[in-house]
């Protein structure tokens, strides 16, 4: 499986990119809108995490800038009735953080705002993915994405704390003491988790 591609960005379209590797092979990947908005200009270096879907009639690559985006995409594909097009649509309309929070909080209204997702599909997504995204850290609402917050949450999950607990502890630290470097956030959050 192709899991990561680094090279020169040749084509940068809203729905797809082409990346030329140093070995002279160009890869075409479908991307969500959020990735397109954060890509560098054509001709610059890019490093994309990829997810490969092999079908009887095609091999498809999907590109993401962050590991959490790829993880959420893969988990969405694991839900019955969700194909690459719908998973990509969800990540184009909502950020990976927002998809995870919508499923955790059973927010079907946020999911039905996505084109192609009706009430039944949203309810099925919430039921099928309940508990399957608990290890995926989100940073939305914690210090407005302040520096060090994402790193602190990720470090706490690596230490074995459940992602929702890590997020809650970091959120409390930021609310009480404001933003601070990741190491200080981790120390303060650890004292709340123990």
CB count within 10 Å of CB 57 equals 4
Q: What pLDDT score was predicted for residue 139?
A: 61
Q: Are 100 and 136 in contact (CB under 8 A)?
A: yes
Asked if the model's pLDDT at residue 143 lies above 70, the reply is no
Q: What pLDDT score was predicted for residue 170?
A: 84
Asked, for residue 117, whether it belongs to a domain, the answer is yes
> Are both 74 and 122 inside the same structural domain?
yes
Asked, for residue 154, whether it belongs to a domain, the answer is yes
Q: Are 156 and 164 in contact (CB under 8 A)?
A: no
Asked, for residue 134, whether it belongs to a domain, the answer is no
Asked if the model's pLDDT at residue 178 lies above 80, the reply is no
Q: Are 142 and 149 in contact (CB under 8 A)?
A: yes
| Arithmetic mean of pLDDT, 162-166 | 78
Asked, for residue 25, whether it belongs to a domain, the answer is yes
Q: What pLDDT score was predicted for residue 161?
A: 83
Enter the pTM of the model.
Answer: 0.72
Assign residue 113 the CATH number of its domain: 1.10.150.20
Asked if the model's pLDDT at residue 146 lies above 60, the reply is no
| Full domain range(s) for residue 27 | 4-64
Asked if the model's pLDDT at residue 171 lies above 90, the reply is no
> Are both 85 and 125 inside the same structural domain?
yes
Share of the chain above pLDDT 90, in %: 55
Last residue of a domain, one of 42, 64, 86: 64
> Are both 48 and 89 inside the same structural domain?
no
Asked, for residue 136, whether it belongs to a domain, the answer is no
Note the residue count of the chain.
Answer: 194
Residues 140, 141, 142, 146: is their CA dihedral positive or negative? positive
Asked if the model's pLDDT at residue 12 lies above 80, the reply is yes
pLDDT bucket at 142, cuts 50 / 70 / 90: low
Q: Which tens digits make up the pLDDT trace of 111-123?
A: 998 888 999 999 9
Assign residue 44 the CATH number of its domain: 2.40.50.140
Q: What pLDDT score was predicted for residue 147?
A: 58
Last residue of a domain, one of 64, 79, 96: 64
> Are both 107 and 87 inside the same structural domain?
yes
DSSP state of 145: G
> Are both 55 and 79 inside the same structural domain?
no
Q: Are 80 and 128 in contact (CB under 8 A)?
A: yes
Pick the residue with more confidence: 58 or 175?
58
Last residue of a domain, one of 41, 64, 87: 64
Taking the C-alpha atoms of residue 75 and residue 84, their distance in angstroms, rounded to an integer, is 11
> Are both 73 and 124 inside the same structural domain?
yes
pLDDT bucket at 25, cuts 50 / 70 / 90: very high
> Are both 72 and 122 inside the same structural domain?
yes
> Are both 59 and 73 inside the same structural domain?
no
Asked, for residue 137, whether it belongs to a domain, the answer is no
Assign residue 167 the CATH number of its domain: 1.10.8.10
| Arithmetic mean of pLDDT, 89-99 | 90
Mean pLDDT of the chain: 88
Q: Are 99 and 91 in contact (CB under 8 A)?
A: yes
Provide the b/e sequence for 84-116 (b: ≥16 CB within 10 Å): bebbbbbbbbbbbbbbbbbbbeebbebbbebee
Q: Which tens digits make up the pLDDT trace of 46-78?
A: 999 999 999 999 999 999 999 999 999 999 999
Domain count, the chain: 3
């Amino acid at each position: 499986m192709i899991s990561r591609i680094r090279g020169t960005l040749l084509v940068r379209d809203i729905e797809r990119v082409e990346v030329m590797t140093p070995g002279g092979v160009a890869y075409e990947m479908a991307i969500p809108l959020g990735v397109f908005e954060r890509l560098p200009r054509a001709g610059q270096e890019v490093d994309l995490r990829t997810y490969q879907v092999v079908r009887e009639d095609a091999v498809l690559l999907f590109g993401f800038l962050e590991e959490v985006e790829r993880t959420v995409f893969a988990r969405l594909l694991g839900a019955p009735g969700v194909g690459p097009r719908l998973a990509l649509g969800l990540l184009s309309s909502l950020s990976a953080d927002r998809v995870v929070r919508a499923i955790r909080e059973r927010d079907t209204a946020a999911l039905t705002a996505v084109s192609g997702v009706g009430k039944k599909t949203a309810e099925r997504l919430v039921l099928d993915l309940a508990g399957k995204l608990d290890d995926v850290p989100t940073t939305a609402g914690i210090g407005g994405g302040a520096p060090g917050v994402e790193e602190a949450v990720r470090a706490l999950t690596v230490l074995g704390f459940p992602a929702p607990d890590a997020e809650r502890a970091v959120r409390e630290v930021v609310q009480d003491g404001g933003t601070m470097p990741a190491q200080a956030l981790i120390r303060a959050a650890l004292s709340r988790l123990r």
